[in-house]
């Protein structure tokens, strides 16, 4: 016996699972995650370069603290936006 897809409750439930967020929202989140990964990669490269430099330890510690602060500052706006998008995704998924 064939079922009518318009009245198939299992199909409706499966569709709800896939409609829990907008593709645009997902694309934006993926782009933010890529940006954060790039920032992290650059930071790790800078930290590795510092670690292997012949600079005085006291100066290394100062530079390390500056690099860490800059890393946090660079990430912060992307983390904030990602947090807002996740909240929006959460609201959309409960509204579906």
Instruction: Encode pLDDT of 72-87 as tens digits.
Output: 999 999 999 999 999 9
pLDDT, residue 60, reads 97
| Nearby residues of 79 by Cβ (< 8 Å), 6 or more positions away | 36
Grade residue 18 by pLDDT with cuts at 50, 70 and 90.
very low
pLDDT of residue 94: 76
What is the C-alpha separation between 53 and 40, in angstroms, rounded?
20
Q: pLDDT band for position 17 (50/70/90)? A: very low
| Ordered alpha helix ranges (H), the chain | 9-18, 23-51, 57-95
Distance in angstroms (rounded) separating the CA atoms of residues 27 and 38: 17
**Residue 48: what pLDDT?**
98
d(CA 22, CA 33): 17
Residue 36 sits at φ, ψ, to 5 deg, of -60, -40
pLDDT at 79: 98
CB 66 within 8 A of CB 23: no
Average pLDDT, the chain: 84
């Amino acid at each position: 016996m064939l079922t009518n897809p318009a009245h198939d409750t299992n199909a409706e439930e499966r569709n709800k699972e896939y409609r829990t967020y907008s593709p645009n929202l997902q694309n934006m989140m993926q782009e933010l995650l890529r940006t954060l990964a790039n920032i992290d990669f650059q930071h790790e490269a800078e930290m590795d370069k510092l670690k292997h430099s012949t600079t005085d330890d006291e100066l290394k510690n100062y530079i390390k603290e500056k690099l860490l602060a800059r890393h946090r500052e660079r990430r912060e706006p992307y983390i904030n936006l990602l947090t807002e998008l996740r909240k929006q995704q959460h609201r959309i998924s409960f509204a579906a």
